[in-house]
Amino acid sequence: MATRVRAYYRRHDDYRRYLPTHEARVKDLTGLFSTNKRYFGRSILDVACGGGVLGFIAEKEGRQYVGVDINPDAIAGARRHAERVRSRNRFVLGDARKVKVAGRFDTITLLGNALCHFNTSEFAEIVDNLRRNVKRGSHFIVDYRDVVQIFYRRGWAHRFRQTRDGRPMVSVTKRLDSVSGELVIDSLGATGKSQLEFTYGVWSPFIIEPMMFSRGWSLERRRLNEKKLVCIDIYRKG
């Protein structure tokens, strides 16, 4: 998985968009933190943290923070920024399905639609691996696109164009793997040739909620952005 994620953020998306120097990312997570501040306890474990933007926001509010990500580029960027601003935030390079982080946390987060990088089996492994890091009353905050609803409304773009460093990039959906619950997508470069195949997890409230419930988490709050069909779920450990 590490090789796959690193390749994705080097050749298709740009990991620099998830660093503390990216204004739009900082603005988005500042808004999310402020809106849901009551659910952020004193200690936060941020899964798939990217460049750790949430940590630098939360630290200003007196929170303790540990970020975990499998992408070495993102973790290196987070550590550089932490050193530059003399932050006490800690960043761990590792696979969230297997990494061992010491301590129990008030809040676990999986934000920025990072859930799309995981299928249901992989997400189950993450939640199970985190059992040692939670306690009764801990919160789990996750946001994701309701892809099933997007399909229903016929809003999924089969062919999506964007730019990276001024170069045209095109994502083309090849097929749906109904067994793993993933879309298989091809990344085309400027020449129109395939340069990277990656998967995009299909998620919806009716998929994630029973998975969390079966592991002792109850839904405390859900917000849906009707325009973008993005859900923010907040679960509580019973």
CATH of the domain at 16: 3.40.50.150
Number of domains, the chain: 2
Judge if 87 and 166 occupy the same domain: no
The secondary structure of residue 203, as a DSSP letter, is -
Judge if 120 and 45 occupy the same domain: yes
Judge if 64 and 155 occupy the same domain: no
In this predicted structure, what is the pLDDT of residue 3? Answer: 83
Task: Determine the Cα–Cα distance for residues 17 and 191; give it in Å rounded to an integer.
Answer: 24
Tokens of 232: 């923010």
* Angle at alpha carbon of residue 92, lines to 43 and 67, rounded to 5°: 35
In this predicted structure, what is the pLDDT of residue 147? Answer: 97
Judge if 103 and 173 occupy the same domain: no
Judge if 99 and 170 occupy the same domain: no
Place of tokens 């402020």: 34
Judge if 102 and 118 occupy the same domain: yes
Question: Tell me: the pLDDT tens digits for 46-105?
Answer: 999 999 999 999 999 999 999 999 999 999 999 999 999 999 999 999 999 999 999 999
Task: Determine the Cα–Cα distance for residues 113 and 130; give it in Å rounded to an integer.
Answer: 19
Strand bridging mode 230-237 / 139-145: antiparallel
**pTM of the prediction?**
0.95
Judge if 8 and 124 occupy the same domain: yes
SS3 (DSSP) at 149: helix
* Angle at alpha carbon of residue 105, lines to 18 and 231, rounded to 5°: 50
In this predicted structure, what is the pLDDT of residue 204? Answer: 97
Which residues does the chain have with pLDDT short of 50? none
The number of beta carbons lying within 10 Å of the beta carbon of residue 160 is 12
Supply the range of the domain harboring residue 82: 2-145+202-237
